[in-house]
Amino acid sequence: MARRNEARTIGELKASGYKPVPLREEMRRNLLSMIRDKQDLFPGIIGYEGTVIPQIENAVIAGQDVIFLGERGQAKSRIMRMLINLLDEYIPVIKGCEINDDPLDPLCRACRDLVAQNGDATEISWLHRDERYGEKLATPDITIADLIGDVDPIKVAEGRYLSDELTIHYGMIPRSNRGIFCINELPDLTERLQVGLFNLMEENDIQIRGYRVRLPLDILLVSSANPDDYTNRGRIITPLKDRYGSQIRTHYPLTVEDEIAIIEQERRSFGDEGVECYVPKYMKEIIAEITHLGRRSPDINQRSGVSVRVSIANYESMISNAIRRAVTVGEKLAVPRISDLPFILASTMGKIELESFEDTKEDKIVDDLTKKAVFNVFNNYFKTSQLEPVVTQFNSGFSVEISDAMPAKSYVRNVKEIVGLTEAVKVLNDSERPEAIAAAMEFVLEGLHLNKRLNKTRSEGKTVYRR
């Protein structure tokens, strides 16, 4: 990738041997180089290695504009912003130019006049790849002037004629010349504004008001849209859809493992003084499984999707309750338990839309998803026949009381007294610390209950398992 050199004028730039490269050719060259070197093109993007990323690579190699289709929380915006990694580190521009003109081939009238006046002594500056990216969230109040440009009344007041090209105030798209411009939620642009993008995408130029001016901008246009808006409501006009070279469909994590990897990467972490936090693998799997079940639930509106943000927020809520308990009872280790899961209701409901508008169903839907997730994960670890000695002990009248506020040491005695429970706990973790043992014990008891081997009653914030 090109790096900044010492040239400070057009003359010095020519002497350095610099040759301008069109944007799409620049991105294509850099992409192929990264592929050869086996570099990670999109670091931090998980689960798209065999689906979305190859399609992006093909679009860049073909030099195509791209639209990403996907529900919320599928990393569309993040991927678009990471496309700048395919740009050269620095490119030369005429110093002070509003539209990043190539010093060897200026477009705007001001730069052409400047070069005509100063020739090879014209000053240049070096633009970093981070400054070659523009983005706009499509909202109903956007105007053509915002995107393309308009007459600058101040310049007219200074004495210039309306026909003078120098009175133009450039919009966001021309100011992204020689770079990438992204439009988030493209269907929300009015049809009039969508028509304004035609020339940019097909003829690589723009038209501003009634000016007889042609600006052959060098821009890659990338957009995002929700598939429901794109296909069902038809809010992207057909001629504009036709101009996008590639339509790339994003998706939610296909596996629980990918979901967990994203959770651990994205969740907020704090330096909790005096409290260590450990999340057992099975608790991570439960949180991820809740989200995966939600994406298949008939009670949840699937058109709006169940974002990975649900998993992240639920994971954070579960850990938060474990930390709160540890601080309250004076424990040094916070380990989430099954009894912490009811607290994810607050972090779930704001992120999903129900098919029914009955408020009374919200708690039940989340509770049912949680139970099903625990059931599925438990049965991945155990067969109930393996835990028959545990059930037998409960048949003799044994009972266990738990709660999310109970100290971990209160659990240890029960684990030792119940035949077969110690072995089950060891399947889940090797730790001898009471907090990890307590979490494993709750998981085993709840799994047996959901498999109809134990009964469960709740009263005054406590849960009792018995036969």
For residues 155 and 19, the model is more confident at: 19
Question: Does any domain span residue 1?
Answer: no
- C-beta neighbour count of 226 within 10 angstroms: 23
Give the pLDDT band (50/70/90) at residue 232: very low
pLDDT > 50? residue 338? yes
pLDDT > 80? residue 53? yes
- Are 300 and 426 found together in one domain? yes
In degrees and rounded to multiples of 5, residue 242 shows phi and psi of: -65, -25
Give the pLDDT band (50/70/90) at residue 234: very low
- Are 241 and 358 found together in one domain? no
CA distance 287 to 228: 27
Give the pLDDT band (50/70/90) at residue 109: confident
DSSP of 190-243, one letter per residue? -HHHHHTTHHHHHTS----TT--------EEEEEEE-HIIIIIS--S-HHHHHH
Residue 20 belongs to a domain with what CATH number? 3.40.50.300
- Are 167 and 261 found together in one domain? no
- Are 386 and 432 found together in one domain? yes
Question: Does any domain span residue 122?
Answer: yes
Question: Does any domain span residue 2?
Answer: no
pLDDT digits (tens, 9 = 90+) for 251-281: 999 999 999 999 999 999 887 678 899 999 9
- Are 271 and 158 found together in one domain? no
Mean pLDDT lowest among 9-13, 166-170, 309-313, 325-329: 166-170
Domain boundary among 233, 249, 265: 249
- Are 189 and 77 found together in one domain? yes
CB 157 within 8 A of CB 146: no
pLDDT of residue 230: 54
Question: Does any domain span residue 54?
Answer: yes
Q: How many CA atoms lie within 13 A of 300 on its CB side?
A: 25
- Are 45 and 163 found together in one domain? yes
SS3 82: helix
Range of the domain at 110: 10-249
Q: In terms of Cα–Cα distance, which of 370, 346, 374, 386 is closest to 442?
A: 374
pLDDT > 90? residue 210? no
Q: Total domain count for the chain?
A: 2
pLDDT > 70? residue 296? yes
Percent above pLDDT 70 for the chain: 91
Question: Does any domain span residue 4?
Answer: no
Question: Does any domain span residue 5?
Answer: no
CA distance 429 to 382: 14
- Are 317 and 397 found together in one domain? yes
- Are 227 and 265 found together in one domain? no
Domain boundary among 193, 224, 249: 249
Kindly report the length of the chain: 467
- Are 390 and 266 found together in one domain? yes
pTM of the predicted structure, to 2 decimals: 0.87
- Are 85 and 195 found together in one domain? yes
pLDDT > 80? residue 440? yes
pLDDT of residue 48: 96
Give the pLDDT band (50/70/90) at residue 1: very low
Domain boundary among 249, 269, 291: 249
Question: Does any domain span residue 205?
Answer: yes
As a whole number, the mean pLDDT across the chain is 88
Give the pLDDT band (50/70/90) at residue 158: low
Rounded to 5 degrees, what angle do the CA atoms 50, 52, 58 make? Answer: 95
In degrees and rounded to multiples of 5, residue 417 shows phi and psi of: -80, -30
pLDDT > 60? residue 360? no
pLDDT of residue 223: 93
- Are 282 and 385 found together in one domain? yes
Question: Does any domain span residue 3?
Answer: no
CB 440 within 8 A of CB 412: no
pLDDT digits (tens, 9 = 90+) for 395-425: 888 889 998 899 999 888 888 888 888 899 9
pLDDT of residue 251: 95
